[in-house]
Amino acid sequence: MTIKDRVLLIEDERSIGNLIATLLEANGYDVITARTGQEALSLATSHCPDVILLDLGLPDMDGMEILRAVREWSVIPILVVSARTEEKDKVAALDAGADDYIVKPFGTAELLARIRAAIRHTRTASGNAQLAHSGIFTVGGLSIDYNSRRVYVDGVDANLTQNEFRLVALLGRYAGRVITYDAIIRQLWGPNVKNDNQILRVNMANIRRKIEKNPADPQYIFTEARVGYRMADAVPGYETDDNSD
């Protein structure tokens, strides 16, 4: 099973939308498309994409409204793709939390490069130096490969599902820090999910079965009772190689 990065493409012009969707699918992305602002907001919260491509001129609302709404609950990378070329439009979008601004018409290679850069930047924004350098986070025998979206335990693929991977990937980005249940649910399932930790507990139980030697006594992902989860940033008994470069 291949886990693909999911792109939410918000574009009301069919010809441009189809062109971009075809390009992205050919380059290994899973694409969902919205043609109106309402549809975009609904898909952003229900599908929790890995990156959003946002056209500003939409039939029912301005893309800036979508940008602000999504930024209230998520750090998903958002690339504005717009025909508006004025500096003030770019500045407003970037100030409102856009990660990048691409002017139409654009080159396909450039678009792909900037999508990769935005995803990479989000992954490294945690200040996790090891991850920033290699795209791989390793602690003890556990290794999270953010490029191939796979998790290995002592070199063996743990076969995580998409949701399980997203949860482990999120904790890995902030290894050593407690991430609250609320923050995890918001990032993974969007702001409209009932704040029910059950969905999280079920996923975590499955993850622990797959990655921990003894799920009842975990060495990689710890529960901070009534607060959240924390990924280990070191595991006793394993060599650390903090000085490697």
Q: Rounded distance, CA 76 to CA 10, Å?
A: 14
Classify 28 in phi/psi space as left (phi over 0), alpha (psi -120 to 50) or beta. Answer: left
CB of 112 to Ca ion, least distance (A): 21
Site membership for Ca ion, residue 12 (CB under 5 A): yes
| 30 SS3 class | strand
Largest CA distance in the chain: 59
Measured from the CB atom, is 9 or 158 closer to Ca ion? Answer: 9
Site membership for Ca ion, residue 164 (CB under 5 A): no
Number of residues that bind Ca ion (CB under 5 A): 3
Q: How far is CA 85 from CA 76, 96, 103, in A?
A: 24, 17, 6
Contact call for residues 137 and 174 (beta carbons, < 8 A): no
Rg (C-alpha) for the chain, rounded Å, is 19
Measured from the CB atom, is 55 or 100 closer to Ca ion? Answer: 55
Measured from the CB atom, is 65 or 233 closer to Ca ion? Answer: 65
Q: Rounded distance, CA 168 to CA 200, Å?
A: 11
Binding mask 47-86 for Ca ion (x = CB under 5 A): --------x-x-----------------------------
Site membership for Ca ion, residue 14 (CB under 5 A): no
Q: Indicate the residue whose CB is closest to Ca ion.
A: 57
Count CB neighbours of 229 within 10 A: 22
Measured from the CB atom, is 31 or 56 closer to Ca ion? Answer: 56
Give the footprint of Ca ion on residues 185-214 (CB under 5 A).
Answer: none
CB of 12 to Ca ion, least distance (A): 5
Give me the residues that bind Ca ion (CB under 5 A), please: 12, 55, 57
